Amino acid sequence: MRIIAGRNRGRKLKSLTGSSEVRPTKDMVREAVFNMLQGFPAGKQCLDLFSGFGGLGLEAYSRGAVKVDFVEYSRKNCRIIRENISRLGARESCQVNCLDVLNFLESGSGKYDLVFMDPPYRFEKYHEVLRKLRIKSFLNDPALVVVEHAGEKEFIAPEEYLLLKQKTYGDTGITLLEYQG
């Protein structure tokens, strides 16, 4: 895993090979996501849910995000995210929350312009997460939400969100949503 663009372009990130728990976003898909965002992370507050090893959030940091909060349940993965934050010298801008995403959304706080949501493909509570982001006031007005999901499944956007774009890259689907409070 490596950073594709921005101030940390080309820097390698730590990950675990052969881990069945985490499916890191492929470089090609990550690049496509950031092409969809067209420079949007610069100067923004970002939230990386189901962070895995932190690739999406750290890419946003490299591209100018001023703050990135990571939410990941696995303590082992949280350690790796912290190591990656240190590698990039991003301690002042990044925070790791080692919690279940739904618990974080119940008890956490913050306002975000950009949210990455990359749960395991077997996860079925996409709409619950999107609802909690909205009703618990985690989203600025406007905010973008990038949802990564299984490519063979159609992702239906909740009515409170505007569907901006959907693309499929192999077995990965990307849906870009906009929230306007």
Q: What CATH number should be reported for the domain holding residue 79? A: 3.40.50.150
Mean pLDDT score, 77-86: 96
Question: What whole-number distance in Å separates Cα of residue 69 and Cα of residue 60?
Answer: 11
What per-residue confidence (pLDDT) applies to 10?
84
**What average pLDDT does the segment 91-97 reach?**
96
Q: Which residue has the tokens 């849910």?
A: 49
* pLDDT reading at 162 higher than 60: yes
pLDDT tens-digit series, residues 115-146: 999 998 788 899 999 999 999 999 999 999 99
Assigned domain for 20 exists: no
Instruction: Select the more confidently predicted residue: 13 or 45.
Output: 45
What are the pLDDT digits (tens) for 19-42?
555 656 677 888 889 999 988 999
Q: For the residues 153-170, what does the mean pLDDT come to?
A: 92
Q: In this structure, is residue 14 part of a structural domain? A: no
The pLDDT confidence band at residue 57, using thresholds 50, 70 and 90, is very high
* Number of independent structural domains in the chain: 1
With a cut of 70, say whether residue 16 has pLDDT above it.
yes
Q: What range does the domain containing 151 cover?
A: 27-179
User: How far, in Å, CA of 132 to CA of 168, rounded?
Assistant: 26
What single-letter amino acid sits at 1? M
In a domain, 36, yes or no: yes
Is residue 18 assigned to a domain?
no
| Neighbour tally for 37: CB within 10 Å | 17
Residue 165 in any domain: the answer is yes
Q: Is there a domain that residue 19 lies in? A: no
What local confidence, expressed as pLDDT, does residue 23 receive?
Answer: 59
Tally of helices (H runs) and strands (E runs) in the chain:
5, 7
Residue indicated by tokens 């996409």: 126
Has residue 16 been placed in a domain?
Answer: no
In a domain, 100, yes or no: yes
The distance between the two most distant Cα atoms of the chain, rounded to a whole number of Å, is: 41
Average pLDDT over the chain, rounded to an integer: 91
pLDDT at 108 (0 to 100): 87
**Whole-structure pTM over 0.85, yes or no?**
yes
Q: Find, among 91, 86, 35, 38, the residue nearest to 68 by Cα.
A: 91
